[in-house]
Amino acid sequence: MTSNVAAFAGDLEALDAWLNQHVATGPVAVIAGKNGDMDTVGSAIALAAHHPSMLACGLHVGRAAQRYVAKHQAPFRRLKSEGTAWPKQLAAIVVVDAAAPEQTGLLLPDVPTCIIDHHATDGWALSNADLRIKWDVRSTTEVITRYLVTHSPSTLTVPVCEFLLAGLVTDTGRLRRFKDEVKEVNAGQECGMAFESYSDLKQGDVIECYEVEEIARSLDG
């Protein structure tokens, strides 16, 4: 796993060259993991905003991600697990936030593949035309954010930033229902909460939650 700044910059250069090479020849699918969580869907949508030939897609969009997709009318194509109709001219695929091919829930096409992920395990078998960006960071959106900041700053519109932030926040926080770590809990049910890389919570500590709301400016301020 990569964990120093020079290697980060090198990875981002490689990613930029790889993406620009493939978008020049045809569409590039940016595929989210099948759990459809905020990190994977947010990463796919934000990265795909880099170029009009890139399209975010995946098997499933989870409840939290669904809200953001609806709010911003964000382009995300839902795919079927069998008989996926990939574009004929598909130049390449980027898979975000999936530690192995099974985690996409799809039969992936045989085209150059880029993996962008932050999980400790890795079940991908890649060839020379492929690229693996694997960082020991808290969320895949962190990798995407650094890429866009460095190589594609004009992509960082308010909605794109909101997807990136939501991906980071939801992947870092953890909810617990009985013995299991869960992504979400139904309203009215009890659950425990934990934060990644932080376990020193004491009585009296306050957990603040916030929701980002966008309000259009009006003529009278």
Name the residues that contact Mn ion, by CB under 5 A. Answer: 39, 97, 139-140, 171
CB of 39 to Mn ion, least distance (A): 4
What's the min distance (Å) between Cβ of 40 and Mn ion? 6
Q: How far is the CB of 106 from Mn ion (least distance, A)?
A: 18
Write out the two tokens for 145. Answer: 């954010």
Pairing state between β 173-177 and 113-117: unpaired
Nearer to Mn ion, 91 or 162 (CB): 162
Please say which residue, 17 or 182, places its beta carbon nearer to Mn ion.
182
* Residue number with the smallest Cβ distance to Mn ion: 39
Q: Are strands 28-32 and 54-58 parallel, antiparallel or unpaired?
A: parallel
**Measured from the CB of residue 67, what is the shortest distance to Mn ion in angstroms?**
18
- By beta-carbon proximity to Mn ion, the closer residue of 22 and 134 is 134
Q: CB-based contacts of 10: which residues, under 8 Å, 6+ apart? A: none
Exposure of 56 in the CB half-sphere (CA atoms within 13 A): 28
Here the tokens at position 92 are 């390449």
Taken in order 54, 32, 170, 168, the sign of the CA dihedral is: negative
Q: Which is closer to Mn ion, CB of 47 or CB of 91? A: 47
